[in-house]
Amino acid sequence: MSSASTSRSTPRPSELLAVFAGGCLGALARAGVAEALAVPWGTLLVNVVGAFLLGAVVTRAPKFLGTGFCGAFTTFSTMQVELLELRVLEAAMYGAASIVLGLAAVALGRRV
């Protein structure tokens, strides 16, 4: 095994710190939004905003903003639980809105 492949599989301490710091801030931001908005609107908001941020920053600060902040800020699993708690028509509209708005947000973020 070459040293180049070994160094790629082991993250540098600065990368770990960036993911940790971004993750802490993302989790705190998501908790703040969850406290401020009713279910499922808070989840929809964080997922759309997170998708926009990923589109805008994934090539600029992938560890801090991409993996760290957006990874902790967005929440696919919470969306799934919320879908199960909604009536069928509401769940279909919420799921479709999440996908359409998320894709549009990524596309818009990539243009920034």
Going from N- to C-terminal start, the domains of the chain cover 3-111
For 54-78, letters b (16+ CB in 10 Å) and e give bbbbbeebbbbbbbbbbbbbbbeeb
Show binding-site residues for Na(+): 71, 74
pLDDT tens-digit profile, the chain (112 residues): 455 555 567 889 999 999 999 999 999 999 999 999 998 999 999 999 999 999 998 778 789 999 999 999 999 999 999 999 999 999 999 999 999 999 999 999 999 8
Show binding-site residues: 71, 74
Secondary structure (DSSP) of 61-101:
SIIIIIIIIIHHH--HHHHHHHHHHS-HHHHHHHHHHHHHH
Residue 41 burial (CB count, 10 A): 14
